[in-house]
Amino acid sequence: MKKLEYIVCKNFKCFYGTTEDPKSNKIVLDGKNLLLYGENGSGKSSLYWALYTFFMSALRRDADVFNFFRSDSEKNWRNIYCQENEESSIKVKFQDQDAIEISNLKIYSEDDNIEEGRKNKIATRNFVENTILLSDFINYKFIFKTFDFQNYQSVDLFFLFEKELFYYMNFEKFFSNSKYANLKYAHNYWRHINARLDGWNSLRKSKKKNALLEDIIHEYSTFCDALKNTISNLVESTNQYLHKFFHCNYSISFQIGGCDLHHNGVIYKPNILLYVWFDDSEGIRSFDKAHIILNEAKLTTISLAIRFAMMDTKPTSDDYGRLLILDDLLISLDMSNRDVVLDVILEKASDSQIIMMTHDKALFELTKNKISHHKNTNLDAWVYREMYNKQVLATDIPTPFIIDSKNYLQKADQYLNIDFDYQAAGNYLRKECERILKAIMPERYKRDVTDLNGLITKFKDFCNDVNITDSFANNLDKYRMVLLNALSHDDEIQVYRKELVDCMNDLKSLNFIYTYEFKKITIRFVNGSSPIEYFVDYSSKAKDQSLILVRDKQQNKLYINNPYCNPYWIENGQPKYMDKEGEEEQKLNNRIKRIVELQLKFNRITLTEPSDIKDVIFVIDDTGVEKNIKNY
């Protein structure tokens, strides 16, 4: 896919001025994903709407696009401080493509040769239009609109689909036998059908009018069939997100009705009713008023699941962009659900370029942390920016001020090697130490810990549990006592640069450690051609029971813990538990290593490429996919 290199906004909404400045109006991505923090009023949402306006321009008439930029239009989004004769524009550059611009002066391209200019414009419009088909824009307003109904109203999503989603729904194949097959998108066909009805209503009674109505009714029926087909395909994928990622105990379905065109030409819009289904001790129940029975976080997960499912239906292409542009999606979610949604978003970074924006600094830092320790993350594929509201003193005009967002290690490095403020460097190393330990350790190790001393103590336990033999934990404890604690107080102390450098290097090494926690595992042996399998399901056990896997990607080392477990095997379709079978020795030593040792000893089991227990452990991740732990 083509990657976005930069976007420039001149005199558009909060962006002021006509020069291209990376500090104020040029957002440089260089083909990478972007995580952007913007304080309220800084212009963060202006960037979202600039991108939206640019890409939707391919689906609008030129006259409608010009209205966004011309001072004589009531619909313009020009910066309120710019002069009437000044340029207002949005310019976007993709890899291996010329820059594309829309403004108060031109749409896409100009050329001295009229015919050549026309061809370039058609090609550019085609590129932008196909990029839309592969991409998606989701902001907090969509989340709120999904369930913005009175308590007596059913959840009818047709209006939301009409205003937000028809732009991304390709109906081309459903109209392949129609003379209007070239319209492509649902919104094109919907607008076309309504326009034909308006034309039909203006005609006097005639046989031609009756024939025209029959043709319109046929097109309307085809549209409704396409809508039913497209939305029904969303249900399974949406429910997979709800169950596998969000761990919801409910499903959703859609019921599409009202697909009738009145005989006098009055069009009745279809309805897309959303139902929530529960299958529990009270039986199977459905509700058409999800906004009454579910809290805001659960409603948000449904809304996001629908959009993620839609994104999965989109094709991929090397010839166009594929963007996932997100603005303040997670403000209604608690921390646990935010974590799940971030996992989903980061998984999509493998086949989409992500632009994610938020005004929540805590969420921004959480996401940065999540990105740096996500199992599939390429750290070089992300850039981080912060946007603030700056008053230009000479004119008193507010403008965005964009800076690179530095992490604690980068700030410590600056204070250590540029500003030579060792106390400030030590304080940022302390912050990084706390951050990295929280990122590495599973939740149970961090429970009830209130300070750095407690985190390091728990980190020692963690290293012991997963058999990490490196001296990380002891080194951190040394730094804490002689360096990090001391530099946080107003005392005259002797600071040694070497200790700061050593501490920084150890913390950098810790950034290559990734931790995974699994609730379901299979222990698989091979005896001839017949596999022997033991299963362990920690989900029904105490919270402190699970398999922990640690990968040191710098040293290419893999560590696992050896937790207590209650393994079972399947015999005649029924589970049989080891602690209810066999010798007392088995009952007392139900750890994974012990299971392997007993099988090798008593059953002479052979391993495929045997070396240690990592050869026989298979894990099931949140997506339900099973793979050997060596693949992590």
- 326 - beta bridge partners? 138, 356
In terms of residue numbers, what domain contains 348? 4-135+322-404
Identify whether the C-beta of residue 274 lies closer than 8 Å to the C-beta of residue 306: no
Shared-domain flag, residues 488 and 547: no
Look at 525 and 501; give whichever has higher pLDDT. Answer: 501
**Where do the H-state alpha helices sit in 57-95?**
62-66
Instruction: Find which of 114-123, 467-476, 556-565, 587-596 is predicted with most confidence, using mean pLDDT.
Output: 556-565
Mean per-residue pLDDT, 558-580: 83
Q: State mean pLDDT over 241-250.
A: 88
- One-letter amino acid of 58: A
Q: Mean pLDDT across the chain, nearest whole number?
A: 85
- Assign residue 96 a region: left if phi > 0, alpha if psi is -120 to 50, beta otherwise? left
The answer to whether residue 313 is domain-embedded is no
Tens-digit pLDDT profile for residues 43-55:
999 999 999 999 9
**Do 123 and 253 fall within a single domain?**
no
The answer to whether 446 and 455 are in contact (CB under 8 A) is yes
Res 404: pLDDT: 93
| Structure tokens given for 585 | 């020795």
Domain finish residue from 382, 404, 426: 404
Cα separations in angstroms, 613 against 530, 591, 606, 608: 19, 11, 12, 11
Same domain flag for 145 and 278: yes
Asked whether residue 546 is domain-assigned, the answer is yes
> Are 343 and 453 in the same domain?
no
User: Terminus-to-terminus CA distance in the chain, angstroms?
Assistant: 26
Q: What is the pLDDT of residues 171-223, one digit of tens each?
A: 888 888 887 777 888 988 998 888 888 887 777 666 677 788 888 888 888 99
Regarding whether 43 and 93 lie in a shared domain, the answer is: yes
Whether 308 is covered by a domain: the verdict is: no
Residues 83 and 64 in one domain: yes
Out of 493, 511, 529, a domain closes at 511
- Determine the angle formed by the axes of helices 361-372 and 335-347, rounding to 10 degrees: 50
Evaluate whether residue 311 is within a structural domain.
no
**Does residue 590 surpass a pLDDT of 90?**
no
Q: How many CB atoms lie within 10 A of CB 522?
A: 17
Residue type, 584: E
- Count structural domains, the chain: 4
Residue type (1 letter), 451: D
What are 74-96's pLDDT values in tens digits? 999 999 999 999 999 999 999 99
- Rounded Cα gap, residues 316 and 353, in angstroms: 12
Nearest to 343 by CA among 375, 301, 365: 375
Instruction: Say yes or no: 426 and 502 in one domain.
Output: yes
Tokens of 202: 């203006």
How much is the pLDDT for 492? 47
Mean pLDDT of the 560-582 span: 80
Handedness of CA 581, 586, 590, 594 (dihedral sign): negative
Distance (Å, whole) CA 434 – CA 409? 12
Tens digits of residue pLDDT in 334-344: 777 888 888 88
Assess if residue 307 is contained within a domain: no
Per-residue confidence (pLDDT) for residue 580, from 0 to 100: 59
- Retrieve residue 273's tokens: 């009713």
The verdict on 55 and 159 lying in the same domain is: no
**Per-position b or e across 422-455, b if 16+ CB within 10 A of its CB:** bebbbbbbbbbbbbbbebbbbeebbeebeebeeb
| Vertex 558 angle, CA 589 and 518, to 5° | 60
Q: Are residues 344 and 282 in the same domain?
A: no
371 and 222 fall within a common domain: no
Check whether residue 221 and residue 263 sit in a common domain: yes
249 found inside a domain: yes
Note whether residue 312 is domain-resident. Answer: no
Specify if 317 maps to a domain: no
253 shares its domain with 328: no
Residue 157, amino acid: L
Q: What's the mean pLDDT in 514-535? A: 80
Q: Out of 469, 490, 511, pick the residue that ends a domain.
A: 511
pLDDT (0 to 100) of residue 170: 86
Residue 369 vs residue 67, higher pLDDT = 67
